[in-house]
A and B are shown apart, each in its own frame.
Chain A
């Protein structure tokens, strides 16, 4: 009703207050949205409940080496006789750690840079956008490889690095949104009422940027997870934690004899990334495009 068309700016509509209440319902109303949401919740649940769900400790030797999946060891055992199912379940935690660390950092840096650039005068905007482009252009996978070979492998360092380098996409989206928002009547009204620039950004612009931010956050963190998996696959991950990428990398030497070693970790990564992508797409459909 009070929605204006912003098609001219090519940016998003603001979700009317009435529609916002049933956003969740509309997200799960489509099959892809429902799949994405269910998948994300499943991964989250498995990660949180890992010690309860896993039949064994991830590093303890409980089976004969390289045993095919059976009723007792549902995903078989690895070359050292460890239970693959337990490793995969515990590996979920590493993924969740990477996903949440990256999400927090990307949200913080991406929105800050985007809000500042979108609302600033030309020079600050230029400086921030050029910085964004520089960060975007450096291949993150290679940077992560270099950093882990110089500073040693560690899940924390890797998550931190991915978080510090994954924000450009989000910053650009937030900037475009901000640029169209700062010209809206309600923002102008707040400024006329005497609110400072920071207050306007924080109280008026930021809440309206947030839905879009969340829509794209899923896609961004999914990419970071794929990079982390690639590093783990190359055997450059943290040796003291279990991660899906690492399990897939360990499996590489046994492709001829043990198909179950590579199948499950890779499938888990694909499932998680797919869920995040589908959920993100659907959220974007609901809150951003043609709401």
Chain B
């Protein structure tokens, strides 16, 4: 087996125990919850018969190890339990919220990557000049600013005072749009939440890439390209960007975790009908199966995203996996 393949196998072999650890954690949380775990799973409003039914369904009368395995078995089959608040399957509750969240998070991931890369290229190409310094200061500021504060300021000034953007929701409830008008309506509602969600990440991508680019611009192959008389633009885009982009790629998995956390806050601020709002109302009502379902789903998404990124990185940069401590 080549070293690269061995590396891929090791990352895959790592993702499985990590996923198992997440599952074990959520199982432990149910059982560490104060009081009877059946109350955590069925809520405190149920009657004796309902508790008995839940107890039997989740095997709570069995020994703890048997409970764990049946829990894992149910998860593998996609059974996340039932929301006692809505009396519905947690999986379908989450599933119907995913498109809205995916639209928000996906757009923010794309926007922060694009704008982050462009910003870094701009700053690195005029190192230590006014533009670079301004970009640096702005990056430090957005990285330090809580997402909700950016949101609050944007709502007050851009949405309420200037009326440029809608304050709430994903669609305009007053009119029913079809075709392009429906698309434009969602896009208009999307602008503010996506920008706010992406802000912090733009700052971190730009800072990460800028320092890599600056080192790269001093390297021999760039000097060579310069001496060939290539334009600054083509040097930057075709020669210098390639290598410093690798670390940017490598951190996408971690950024997804960050973005998903931010999504909860942004969804709640803007009344965006996604998983975040489901999570908040579940938490306020201590609807533990839903809360744990969302936790499992986001954690496993991040685990899988990290694995995928590892494999893509390996494909892009074969040097990865050549040394024992390459990560």
Contacts and interface: CB of A to CB of B under 8 A. Distances in A.
B320 interface: no
Given A266-B146, A273-B144, A252 B298 contact: no
B64 interface: no
A102 B113 CA distance: 30
A210 interface: no
Contact of A262 (B153, B265, B282): B153
B279 interface: yes
Contacts of B292: 146
Contacts of B160: 255-256
B178 to A, nearest CB: 32
B186 to A, nearest CB: 23
A262 B141 CA distance: 17
A233 B265 contact: yes
B265 A137 contact: no
A12 B26 CA distance: 39
Interface residues on B, range: 35 or more
B152 A270 contact: no
Contact of A146 (B34, B254, B295): B295
B308 interface: no
Interface stretch (B225-233, B236-244, B256-264): B256-264
Interface in B191-211: none
Given A145-B291, A146-B295, A230-B265, 16 more contacts: A134-B17, A137-B253, A139-B298, A145-B264, A145-B283, A146-B292, A149-B288, A150-B40, A151-B33, A151-B34, A227-B261, A234-B265, A248-B148, A259-B156, A262-B152, A273-B145
18 contacts: A130-B14, A130-B17, A137-B299, A139-B257, A142-B260, A142-B294, A145-B264, A149-B291, A150-B40, A229-B146, A230-B261, A248-B152, A252-B152, A255-B160, A259-B156, A262-B152, A262-B156, A266-B146
Interface of B: 14, 17-18, 21-22, 25-26, 29-30, 32-34, 40, 140-141, 143-149, 152-153, 155-156, 160, 253-254, 257, 260-261, 264-265, 268-269, 279-280, 282-284, 286, 288, 291-292, 294-295, 298-299, 302-303, 306
